[in-house]
């Protein structure tokens, strides 16, 4: 296991500016369900500037089309000039080197389990770039150890039941008899039904991805915590439309306070920090 202790999340740029990240996906080698997890991983290192998916016509047109469009990736279609020759791998490697030499990316996130990319990882690192791999459990040690960090994805990461954690459990629905039609009374307006939008806003929600974000960012910190501001930046990078108001909260601080799995800590002169509840006091 690679234990490189280089600076992480949000601090990788040598001139103090936000680091830029390239996410390059080997679509012929991994399933499209891995993509949201890969973006969450990449967002901890900086702004994801390059999003590209490489594959042949069958892969991009069938399995990957919807995922690439939804996550704003540029598809790079590569035809096979001869049977058994994977031209997509070569295109990915050349584009990675080009992005490095053109200074369009400081950090590379390769989404693949193919050990053929181990040499590319070594060359990028020799030139001073940082490389992380997002792959499946089958990823060979040769590729894992060629990167600065390896992040293992499993199908459980895509389980929709594990992505949300409602702050208030919906009460059990009781069978109700049909209400009798109310008699019309003179000079009295019928009661208005509450709007659906109003009922949505009245219920505060706590999506699971906030806990996942704290877990990921805090694990990269020696103190096991993440600043509230840094957490907000990360959530915005993973989803530009993210807003606590969407989930019924006035702000991120108000939102974090509703989580049983998270703890807030205020430090004089440093602001608010967030950590996992089970890490409190550790």
pLDDT in tens, 44-59: 999 999 999 999 988 9
- Determine the average pLDDT of the residues in 258-282: 83
Sequential DSSP letters for 166-188: -SSPPPPPPP-PPPPPPPP-TT-
User: What phi, psi does 15 have (nearest 5°)?
Assistant: -95, 10
- Determine the average pLDDT of the residues in 84-97: 89
Alpha-carbon torsion angle 191, 204, 35, 127, nearest 10: 140
What pLDDT score does 173 carry?
41
pLDDT of 266 over the 50 cut: yes
- Which tokens in the block code for residue 13? 């740029």
Angle of CA points 119, 89, 14, to nearest 5°:
55
Tell me the range of 86-95, 105-114, 177-186, 223-232 where mean pLDDT is highest. Answer: 105-114
- Taken in order 194, 197, 201, 205, is the CA torsion positive or negative? positive
pLDDT of 29 over the 50 cut: yes
Query: pLDDT category, 6, cuts 50, 70, 90?
Result: very low
Contact (CB, 8 A) for 20 and 47? yes
Q: How far apart (Å, rounded) are the C-alpha atoms in residues 235 and 229?
A: 10
Q: How far apart (Å, rounded) are the C-alpha atoms in residues 46 and 222?
A: 19
- Determine the average pLDDT of the residues in 65-86: 86
- Which tokens in the block code for residue 273? 């920090």
pLDDT in tens, 134-189: 999 999 999 999 999 999 999 887 654 444 454 444 334 444 444 455 555 555 55
């Amino acid at each position: 296991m690679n234990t490189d202790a280089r600076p992480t999340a949000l601090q990788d740029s040598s001139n103090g500016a936000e680091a830029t990240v390239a996410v390059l996906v080997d679509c012929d080698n991994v399933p499209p369900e891995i993509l949201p997890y890969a973006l969450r991983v990449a967002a901890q290192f900086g702004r994801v500037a390059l999003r590209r998916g490489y594959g042949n016509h069958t892969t991009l047109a069938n399995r990957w089309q919807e995922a690439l469009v939804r996550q704003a990736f540029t598809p790079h279609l590569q035809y096979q000039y001869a049977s058994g020759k994977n031209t997509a791998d070569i295109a990915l490697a050349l584009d990675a080197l080009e992005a490095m030499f053109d200074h369009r990316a400081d950090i590379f996130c390769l989404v693949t389990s193919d050990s053929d990319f181990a040499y590319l990882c070594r060359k990028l690192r020799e030139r001073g770039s940082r490389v992380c791999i997002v792959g499946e459990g089958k990823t060979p040690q040769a590729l894992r150890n060629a990167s600065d960090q390896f992040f293992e994805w499993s199908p459980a990461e895509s389980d929709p039941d594990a992505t949300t954690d409602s702050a208030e459990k919906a009460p059990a629905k009781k069978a109700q008899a049909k209400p009798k039609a109310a008699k019309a009374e003179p000079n009295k307006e019928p009661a208005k039904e509450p709007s659906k939008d109003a009922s949505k806003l009245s219920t505060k929600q706590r999506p699971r991805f906030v806990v996942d974000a704290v877990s990921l960012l805090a694990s990269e910190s020696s103190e096991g915590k993440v600043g509230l501001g840094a957490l907000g930046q990360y959530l915005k990078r993973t989803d530009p439309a993210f807003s606590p108001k969407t989930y019924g909260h006035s702000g991120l601080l108000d939102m974090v306070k509703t989580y049983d799995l998270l703890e807030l800590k205020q430090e004089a002169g440093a602001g608010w920090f967030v950590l996992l509840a089970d890490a409190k006091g550790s």
